[in-house]
Structure 1
């Protein structure tokens, strides 16, 4: 039912009867229809309570994705996709009350080319009256603002991501308006400075800077303003409320106005108080450790001096009384050969103990010389070293009926004396730790490591070629769990009554190999022999 609705007289009226539109100046329907149809703005006229489509231009048909077949049909019948949306309610409200509706960004869900689509429009619904001032229809216009809405949404999301990033990074933001003299800032800045939320004068803001830093900060700020450049400064602020000190690192950029003059400075700041305190603590710790290290080095030098002195004493003063004990006990054994047998036994024990002590001191001296060696490395033929060792063990090899197989060994950069000690100890062990009644069999092999193997072994000279020498025997072997312990100084798996030795030989071997930038390790099973693997670089970097 149409209700009369009185409105103020406009300057022009659009009159309408049941069939023909007439303007006050007598212009007919064709003029009005052409005006509506040619408009770039989407327009339509609905009449009656059912909102029948009376006129619609191409722009509105394009929105609906329809053709002229909609004319004369109720709107929801012509465009059923609008059912369930607010448009019928809005149109009915305008038709019933005569109050226009002006929307800003109304979403319109519709199917275009068979696919669901949502766009945003600025909708205007205006009531239409006849000459009797009775409302008979509604004029609709729609302006597409989808791009604007989407751009604003994208900007909103970008701002949200920015705020999140700033919050995660614990950054405070600020903006100084150079023309109004006010500063706006984020909650973190307010918290650090102890200022009221959101804004204050620049005088108050700058007054929070520590007195000792104010002049320097002001100079850097003015320099940025004068050059329209960047502002980068580290300074202290004192919280106005809590009197707590913070160390801030601030960065900003000068923004110029249309007149080219500096208008504002915008930037962000980060609280680096904890970083600075940690850095200071680390510096103090490093200084303390450096002093401790210097003291330790001084003590170590003193210990080395003492060791060198001990080595001299061991090689001269200690060895001399041992030699006398061995000599005189030997004389007593010979001169008292037909005397008390218990005395002979004691003399034998004295002589044996003295000889073991002499060997121990000799081995210790060898070990200390390797540790402190400053000799020059030279090309060394390992094959020649091995031949000399065979000569040294010639009698023992013959007595034990030992069989030794040797592959060609390479030439390396080494200390010949230490290489002699290395192979002498390893061949000697293979001849010593044999199984009863089984002649020793010793096999030496050599092969080059691949670059991948050099990396896998984590060898010190990773760019140098390495040789892998294996000394395999068929002796007593050892339990695999002791594969590392056998290289510890004074560590023995057998007592000296069973197998003589000082427990220094393999420790000396490891020290020699490491001194040459190599590695030594052993594999074995008890009573199945042992294999000693020696990795040595052919040259030095």
Structure 2
């Protein structure tokens, strides 16, 4: 400090010591004043800059307002008039847009001022300050725009969204989807969540929201059960939802964003699918099918125990790569492509394929026929490929054997064709001789035709005779039985042998009646052709067992029936076949031993038939049906004799019967183009094998 400097006046007023011009410039404030008498504006350079002007320290009010945005001009003019109105307090504060005179630049400016009155109450001065508030306005507009977009996003979102403020969880926003989920009206906005949805008490959601608010840690869950009062009653729903904390600039939570998706239909569909699979599992096991499932989202296969045994797996779940390992290398890609195609959008959703598999432990090869269907989630996306698999190895072996036979027959035919070609010349040479003998053959044919006619008439007469004779014999038998009943009544008090003779006579008449009935049955089977109809042996066996239910109950017989085929035949004749076989098994039982009857079936190729079996009609394959019992059995040497009419291995007093039943069985099998055999040992039961064409 030099001596020329004046000492600082500590007691001078702060406002006097302040450099006002410096302060205005530092605050980027401009100064303006309007003379009400002349309507001229006096302002500094800062104010001029806000209007895009320069070197115009004085300007008429009418000229200045040309640079105010047209949309704001009315509002500015109204504020000026109000400030200069004697009835107002004279304050002036308005924010508006200016348009730069030279550049056309748009600015937001704020003019703040006051009008002053003289002693007579007239405005003599109107002045104030101005500043550029473009940054503040644009920032506020950006915030408002962001908030507007945020609110619109929530409102238009396809899923439920709500915003809860403060720890009291005030519902600040909720879109229509959330209002619908709650089963409420928009009037709940502004209420506490606990008051708007009182049914949430006792459920975890209020506590979870408070936890998110306190810890600033989001919470998310899938398929959460929620009980809500909708349409006036408490209902159960399933939701996937998220609680996301919203924080301010200081990182403090001020609200929670709740987003929820109703997955009730998907969860119920999944539960229904599980129930359906459980109920079907029993039927699948009875059908000897294996089951498998592909979780499309997780890309994992699951197998039933039967399928695991085929594949040599010990785990019921496998990845895609592990699942394809049991496939021969040449089949892996084609199977993978087929599964990939059926799980794509727009596919039929039905999978069917046949291919070999190799057991990973034993190396055994099987051929399986797989079928499956795609199941979709609530969003319509493929979720599960579920199906069955059937072991068709034996069927394919039969097909292969048939193809081999066809090939062998083709080769034989080719050789035969060569031989035939070689003999054509010989045949041509004999044509003349054959032509010469044609007349003789024609005469012989006429004689043969006449003989056939005689034979046909003879057979018809014989059948008619047997039928009529059987019917005519019934009438005298009935009279014998009626008269014997009268005689028994007449001699009821007799002490002689009359009653004994009458009982023997009735017994003989009963046997004669039974014999006539069996002969009638045999006659009908002999003369009745087999109609071409598909019949189920399972149904036929069930009906035969039902007809014998009394005898079965009386003997406590155990019956075991396996899977039986459906074939071409006559249901009535086949019913007589099985009823006679079951009746014999019950009749010829061992004393003190509960009778057991087992019925089973399988397929057998014609080339694999026993040598002694000679079917009445040729076929590629046959159904082999076995009826086995644990009765008294018989000597193997009588195996052919038992199928003859009136042949009995036991006395009529020991076992009742006419000796026609097994003859009827053989006739039925012959009518169906098959064959029947019997195997037995005394005391070891009997086994009847029936072979019927496939």
| Larger RCO (CA within 8 A; separation ≥ 6) | 1
Q: Shorter-chain-normalised TM-score: which range?
A: 0.3 to 0.5
Larger radius of gyration: 2
User: TM-score, normalised on structure 1?
Assistant: 0.46
